[in-house]
Structure 1
Amino acid sequence: MASESLRVDDPAQAPLGAPYWKLWTSSGFSNLADGVFKIALPLLAIQFTQSPTLIAGLSFVATLPWLLFALTAGALADRLDRRRLMLLANLTRAALPALLIGVILLDLGSIWALYVIALLVGVAETLYDTSAQSIMPQLVHRDQLARANGRLYAVELATNQFIGPPLGGLLVAAGVLGGFAVPAALWLAAVGSLFLVRGNFRIEREEKTTLRYDIAEGLRFLWDQKILRTLAVMTGTFNFASSAAFALFVLFAVGPSSAMQLTEAAFGVLLTTSAIGAFAGSFVAGWAERKLGRSKSLALTILGGSFFVGAPALTTNPYILGFVFFIGGVLVMLWNVITVSLRQRITPDRLLGRVNSAYRLLAWGTMPLGAAAGGLIAQWLGLQAMFGIMGLLTLALLGLMPIVTDRAIDAADVAS
């Protein structure tokens, strides 16, 4: 455990503590950098190509590390100091946009250069995110996890999707280099804030084991937990569908030849509607969970998620889409708070990095596959047909809800 551990008589209502808020601040800087970068990269990409397959390939490459590197990242998070891994990951992410600026200034820019940068940023993100989710129970009491995760998601979504996208759009509109210089500076600011969190965040190990054994142990734990296994598959399916849709949404929305004919700045503003919803959702998630129960809350998110993904198949009206994206943001946040807090509660600290990574292998490893599938479907059938197919795929997840009942969730929670 960290040296700055929390000791209180009523943990659930106690202050979250200075170490948590330093992590919260660091996460805000880091996610603001993500928000700017993820908009700047595809806006730069469409200057090199208008091919749906190549544009979707950028999202494929960026998320590929979740398929290839997630299990190794989880094992490292359980072996090494989690805070130091997060620092290393953000230092790497700060260096890569600076490298891209040099490539652009030397007139060596191409879609292939963007692929390389996207892949390396994705590897660093895999290590950072796995360590960040695993460090949380070392900073706050387990009874505080829902509240701590809600507050953390609020700043993550506000910066990553509310402030970052329009800022990224404006920066690229003003000059491409600004869209990459700003994220580099923000990732460095995140490093500075996280550096102020003191303590040892390395889990003590009773025996020496191989990396392969560690990975297998985490996979076995996830497989044996039916609730976690089912939620991972459901999340993976939704991420497959949403990755397919939003990898190509830039082609549907931006430019005079697109269906929506938005400017770069307007595109960023439209995407912020889901972030506003997610920000609101981070504060109502606990209330909804208490009023509806966890199972009904999750079913509601699936229903709303199908519209979130599939709405562009039905309309090009930015105001209607903005409203749908807002509701979708609220519901996605509700899903995240419930599922992440449950996973952190029922998983032992020594396994949390590996279980998080195994879960994300199923949940996030589908994203590059979704981006690739979306590109192929859009190439064959058109963009709006692809959006409709992905909306129906999300709706089909309701068929798994008989497994995720309140009784089954409570039983898994108590057993921990």
Structure 2
Amino acid sequence: MSRILDTVAPRRLGVPFRWVLASSWVSQVGDGIALAAGPLLVASQTDEAFLVALAALLQWAPPLLFGLYAGALTDRLDRKLIVAGVNLVRIAVLMLLTLSVATDMVSIWLVLLALFLIGTAEMFADNAASTLLPMIVHRDDLAIANARITTGFITVNQLAGPPVGAALFAAGMAWPFATQALLVLVGLSLFTQVRLPPHGRDPAARTHIRHDIAEGFRWVRRHAAVRTLVLTIFTFNITFGAAWSVLVLYATERLGLGAVGFGLVTTVTAVGGLLGTLTYGWLTRRVSLGDIMRVGLVLETLVHLALALTTSPWVAMPVFFVFGTHAFVWGTTSTTVRQRAVPLELQGRVGSVNLVGVFGGLVVGAGIGGLLAQHHGVTAPFWFAFAGSAVFLVLIWRQLTHIAHADEAPVPG
């Protein structure tokens, strides 16, 4: 057992990292269950494409609305208390949602409100949690630490969680949300064991929160690699958000999959992510970061085209597999680049700027996708995603070379 533990979380990463890893993996099981159960609950309450897309939008909106403030608070306050406090809020909302479903008092508007509140709590927790690894892990070990966190995300959140969530939903609509609440609680109890060092901010510093937010924006603007990452993720998430916001309808109507089949879509994507996990070290030793990003974005563009064309699950599933590989490589690279480059006291604010880019694109894309699907059919968002991705790729192609300089010394805050 000790040897397995040392393989998964090497001793040099430290005991605090092991607690963070355990907490993350347990919580991710619950989030993976909700990944399938949430859209299925929405679909059980309405068959209107716009409302289905609105559900995705409401989960993606909190970072856009509150993300910059979350980043500033993460750099001002105790990051451990932020993670613990908002997870308690998330547990409470999940329990209320479970009760409403179990007593048959649920409605589409109640579900949408719950998804928005849960998304808001997750956003505050995720922003604070994203700053923890640079506090407890050496800079040279950030890549492996992020890979371990992401491996857990893929295996338990995207691989194991969705089929379990779909099966629990089929057994009883309240079961997946009750299970998620319990798992978040267990993950929180593990997280309370973490001991964190100070995160670099002078306790006596007194600045307005708008000044802190502006400082984060200025830092991103001056750092070419991080600036390019934010720009790229924003533009491509518009197209991704348009297509994926109606994925549950695409899977059930276009591909003819049921509830469990929809869960398998995420599972296949996660299996592709596992391939990315196994080959990531080999890949980054042989291919430049700029070229990795270029190839990945070309693949993402072609994924949208393939899904727009096919009606066969046997064709779509390999496409989702390829996308999963790309998503892991992209996510691990961008996170490591940002964490290595950003000063400790600015991690929250710069992370929030990146988060606004991530979810700003998703929100815009979800709105576009819902309208297109409502008026032109469920494949229209995928055609938009293909055309938009191709145009964006041409526009930012040269800017991707900045990522080649991602390992330069941090820019002073």
TM bin, normalised by shorter chain, reads: over 0.9
- Aligned partner of 2:84 among 83, 87, 98: 87
Matched, 1:228 2:226: yes
1:394 CA displacement: 2.1
- Aligned partner of 1:324 among 319, 324, 332: 319
CA distance in 1 between partners of 2:287 and 2:387 (Å): 24
1:309 CA displacement: 3.4
For the structure 1 residues 269 and 31, does the alpha-carbon distance in structure 2 shift closer, same or farther, using more than 3 Å as the test?
A: same
1:4 matched residue in structure 2: none
CA distance in 2 between partners of 1:404 and 1:42 (Å): 34
Deviations, residues 301-344 of structure 1 (Å, cap 9, x unaligned): 10111233343211122122111111111111111111111111
CA distance in 1 between partners of 2:325 and 2:198 (Å): 32
1:272 matched residue in structure 2: 267
Structure 1 contact 307–324 (Cα < 8 Å) conserved: no
Q: Identity, % of aligned pairs?
A: 34
1:291 CA displacement: 0.7
- Aligned partner of 2:399 among 399, 403, 406: 403
Structure 1 contact 295–401 (Cα < 8 Å) conserved: no
Q: Which aligned segments of 4 or more residues in structure 1 are displaced greater than 4 angstroms?
A: none
Aligned length: 400
1:405 CA displacement: 1.4
1:401 CA displacement: 2.4
For the structure 1 residues 83 and 411, does the alpha-carbon distance in structure 2 shift closer, same or farther, using more than 3 Å as the test?
A: closer
2:119 matched residue in structure 1: 122
CA distance in 1 between partners of 2:297 and 2:316 (Å): 18
2:385 matched residue in structure 1: 390
2:61 matched residue in structure 1: 64
CA distance in 2 between partners of 1:249 and 1:404 (Å): 29
- Aligned partner of 1:209 among 207, 217, 222: 207
TM-score normalised to structure 2 length: 0.93
Which AA in structure 1 matches 2:206? K
Matched, 1:173 2:170: yes
2:5 matched residue in structure 1: none
Which AA in structure 2 matches 1:340? T
- Structure 2 runs not aligned, ≥5 long: 1-9
Deviations, residues 242-286 of structure 1 (Å, cap 9, x unaligned): 2221221111222xxx22221211110122111111122123222
Structure 2 contact 368–381 (Cα < 8 Å) conserved: no
Structure 2 contact 290–400 (Cα < 8 Å) conserved: yes
1:237 matched residue in structure 2: 235
TM-score normalised to structure 1 length: 0.92
Structure 1 contact 78–351 (Cα < 8 Å) conserved: yes
Q: Secondary structure at the match of 2:47?
A: coil
Q: Secondary structure at the match of 2:196?
A: coil
1:9 matched residue in structure 2: none
2:344 matched residue in structure 1: 349
Which AA in structure 2 matches 1:42? P
Deviations, residues 68-98 of structure 1 (Å, cap 9, x unaligned): 0100110111111212211122222222111
Which AA in structure 2 matches 1:368? V
CA distance in 2 between partners of 1:411 and 1:15 (Å): 24
Which of 198-207 and 49-58 deviates more?
A: 198-207
- Aligned partner of 1:189 among 183, 186, 189: 186
RMSD: 1.7
- Aligned partner of 2:159 among 159, 162, 177: 162
CA distance in 1 between partners of 2:278 and 2:73 (Å): 32
2:146 matched residue in structure 1: 149
For the structure 1 residues 208 and 142, does the alpha-carbon distance in structure 2 shift closer, same or farther, using more than 3 Å as the test?
A: same
Which AA in structure 1 matches 2:74? A
